[in-house]
Structure 1
Amino acid sequence: MHSMSKFRRSEIYSLLHYTGYISVLLGIVMLVPIIVAFIYHEPHYVLPFIYSSITSLVFGVVLYKCFSSGSEISLKVAMLFSTLIWLIGSAIGALPFYLSGDLSYLNSYFEAMSGFTTTGFSMYSNLDTVSYTMDFWKGFMQWLGGIGIIVMALTVLSSSNVSIMRLYSAEGRDERLVPSIKHTTRIILYIYLAYTAVSILLFIVAGMPIFDSIFYAFTALSTGGFAMQNASIGYYHSIWIEIVAMIIMIMGATNFALHYTVLKGNWKEYFKDIETRVSWPLIILGTIIGTIFLFNTSVYGHDMLISLRYSIFQVVSALTTTGLQTATPSDITSQWEGLGIFILTLLMIVGAGACSTGGGIKWIRIGILIKGMWWEIKSLILPESAVISKKIHHINDVKIDTKLLKITGLFVFSYLVIYFVSVIIVLFYYPNVSQTLFEVASALSNVGLGSGLITATSPFVVKIVFIIDFWIGRLEIWPILLLVALLIQNSIRK
């Protein structure tokens, strides 16, 4: 019997083998921005992507060929793999930013981790001057990260069903659209591709230029939030573009299993699902509170409709964990201060749907906790002999036992501990409490809504805290805790 901290040689080989596979895939996709560099006459960026691609391919092929995956991988190894691959993938994805001379390596790594984890904070000091090639790479990273690097790899990976299932689960997904995990990943990819095409067309129809439409389709559907301009979506001053963006953000934040159910014709499920019944009341309530706040403070000229327009966009962006903005970072700090920034912070912490491209605690967990509190209240009011039906509707009727309630509560507790530890560290460097609470929530929930706190000139420690928060938020805590437990056990044994 091997202890938790011990790995068999075959398990380590499997971990390195799959790491090589992902590196090869990244090396291939890094060739795509070269096409953009030629189209927009930006030859300066061709070699950085070629060198980055070659580095990734060589690294990947060596690992893939030298280490075989002879046996099925355990869930422990799958979780460790999913934990490490985001670190390695970001190190590879950072190379074009660094080799082109655009950013330092730390800032490049920050940019890549922000991209792949679909967060959206950027180290570029002026987004208006970023090249088309780099904009495409940023958007493409978020698009890849939205579906999940591992999930995309599983659509073509030749491996045992058990290994595929464990790799799928390790990336924070636990819902099957069909019995086969491989078939499930392919359905997710097909839905994602179809929605991407529809999103591009909708932006074009709304009046956005073609390249911008592709970029914002990538970053809105992936709930990523990278922007091409300092003013983000607000740059276009178009209510139609804002409406399209909100629709796409909600699509991206919605559970893929729910999308699949609706696309099969069972649209009534959407309205019955617990995630719908959590998300839409929050959107409506958040919008109402935000509108009243902006109207009363005369932020936008004491105009109710303009206040509504700004409120609903920021609320949807926060709850879907996208991070696109029509209110600029300076607006957030100066005009939304107080109740406005507080509401957005809470919505970012709540987060998006499970098995979606979004982050945060997730709607289903919030729904389970609310139901759990209600069941507890009922048990205190009703006679002891009363039988309380403890179930929720999520695609199907799901019974909620004490164990699931406990796991959900532990997840939320762990999330909040990590959140407040991060806040305390950042407060050593930035004393503005509300701004720090806002931006750390944005980082940990992979949102990217900014108030101007984190920039290219931020202290080293703050950047590292944010990078770690991006990483933890994307992996939904448990794989990270496993890695920490393994490291602690090993250090104790030594």
Structure 2
Amino acid sequence: MELIKELPALGRDLGPGLILIGLTSLAAILVGCLFEEWETLPWMATATVSLCGIGLLLRFLPKTSKVPRTSTSIAATALVWVVVGLCGSLPFLFTGMPFIDAAFESMSAWTGTGFSIAEDIESWPKTLLFWRSFMQWVGGLGIVAFTLTVATRSGLITRGMYTSESGGQAFMPSVIATAFQMWKIYAVLTVAAVLAILLTGVGLWDAVNLALCGIATGGMSIYAAGISHFQNFALEMVLIPIMIAGAVPFRLYYLTY
């Protein structure tokens, strides 16, 4: 009963985060436009509309002065992963992929697990390949860390969610400020990874996808053979420090900076 009373407060905070995550899927729609894969745009729109729609509905939950417990924040964190994972699977369903397989692929990407049961991925549209890489990149830092950048409240709601997701190692007084700094560091590392991969002779399209998955330490690939597809020793040597850089606690980067 207490959980039900506390959920509206958390829901109102999660709403803007889900909307922002939904808007990030526009990046995949942009890729579809660049490669003129017009048939994929409605597929990607389902992820955008569902995430933004759920986010808007949560924003209309009644206001409450009740401060959620940490246990409720942990439950809300788990709920975010489920909602985002299911919404992220929608574009895959239009390829004819069974629901269970699509949900597995999406959840594996969002959580940075890196497992894949997809078959013949090289025949997929580039839009879907990028979407899978992009989900892994966003999920690599943590969905909750992402939503905190637009959280509308402070206190136990925000700090409780952050603690349940990251272990509580905030390196700035404000948890939201910490989330912003984490994303700045993450973006810089990603750009550096793309540039390093380009130096190995890999094309821009492959470099971007490799960087997104590498810095997220998940290791998904847009080729069935994975890294061995390239037969590029220099690339393998570059990807090793990239994944190590993504695994290093961001607090160390912040203290160094």
Task: Please indicate the TM-score interval, normalised by the length of the shorter structure.
Answer: over 0.9
Write the deviation string for residues 32-66 of structure 1: whole angstroms up to 9, x where unpaired: 21111111121110111113322222222112123
8 Å Cα contact 2:137/2:216 also seen in 1: yes
Query: Alignment partner for residue 101 of structure 2, among 107, 122, 126?
Result: 107
User: 2:246 — aligned with what?
Assistant: 252
Cα separation, 1, equivalents of 2:177 and 2:53: 30
8 Å Cα contact 1:130/1:228 also seen in 2: no
- Relative distance call for 1:260 and 1:53 in structure 2 (3 A) is same
Write the deviation string for residues 452-486 of structure 1: whole angstroms up to 9, x where unpaired: xxxxxxxxxxxxxxxxxxxxxxxxxxxxxxxxxxx
For the pair 1:164 / 2:158, whether they are aligned, the reply is: yes
Q: Give the unaligned 5+ runs of structure 2.
A: none
Which amino acid in the other structure matches residue 86 of structure 1? W
Q: Give the unaligned 5+ runs of structure 1.
A: 1-5, 265-494
Identity of matched residues, %? 26
For the pair 1:190 / 2:184, whether they are aligned, the reply is: yes
User: 2:116 — aligned with what?
Assistant: 122
Bigger RCO (CA 8 Å, 6+ sep): 2
Query: Alignment partner for residue 135 of structure 1, among 114, 129, 138?
Result: 129
1:437-476 to 2 correspondence within 5 Å?
Answer: none
Matched residues, number: 257
> Per-residue deviation at 1:226?
1.0
Which amino acid in the other structure matches residue 79 of structure 2? L
User: 2:10 — aligned with what?
Assistant: 15
Tell me, what secondary structure is at the counterpart of 1:66?
coil
> Per-residue deviation at 1:102?
4.1
User: 1:48 — aligned with what?
Assistant: 43
> Per-residue deviation at 1:246?
0.3
TM-score by length of structure 1 reads 0.50
Which amino acid in the other structure matches residue 176 of structure 1? A
Write the deviation string for residues 193-223 of structure 1: whole angstroms up to 9, x where unpaired: 1001101111111111101111111100001
> Per-residue deviation at 1:259?
2.3
- Relative distance call for 1:148 and 1:48 in structure 2 (3 A) is same
- Relative distance call for 1:187 and 1:23 in structure 2 (3 A) is closer
Cα separation, 2, equivalents of 1:248 and 1:35: 26
Structure 1 or 2, whichever has the larger Rg, is 1
Query: Alignment partner for residue 241 of structure 1, among 201, 224, 235?
Result: 235
8 Å Cα contact 2:130/2:209 also seen in 1: yes
Write the deviation string for residues 154-213 of structure 1: whole angstroms up to 9, x where unpaired: 122221233221111011332122222222111111100100110111111111110111
Query: Alignment partner for residue 82 of structure 2, among 80, 87, 93?
Result: 87
> Per-residue deviation at 1:123?
2.6
Cα separation, 1, equivalents of 2:208 and 2:190: 8
User: 1:343 — aligned with what?
Assistant: none
Tell me, what secondary structure is at the counterpart of 2:2?
coil
Which amino acid in the other structure matches residue 150 of structure 1? V
Cα separation, 2, equivalents of 1:89 and 1:140: 13
> Per-residue deviation at 1:74?
1.7
8 Å Cα contact 2:145/2:162 also seen in 1: yes
User: 1:174 — aligned with what?
Assistant: 168
8 Å Cα contact 2:146/2:179 also seen in 1: yes
Query: Alignment partner for residue 146 of structure 1, among 135, 140, 163?
Result: 140
- Relative distance call for 1:77 and 1:206 in structure 2 (3 A) is same
1:374-385 to 2 correspondence within 5 Å?
Answer: none
Tell me, what secondary structure is at the counterpart of 2:59?
helix
User: 1:367 — aligned with what?
Assistant: none
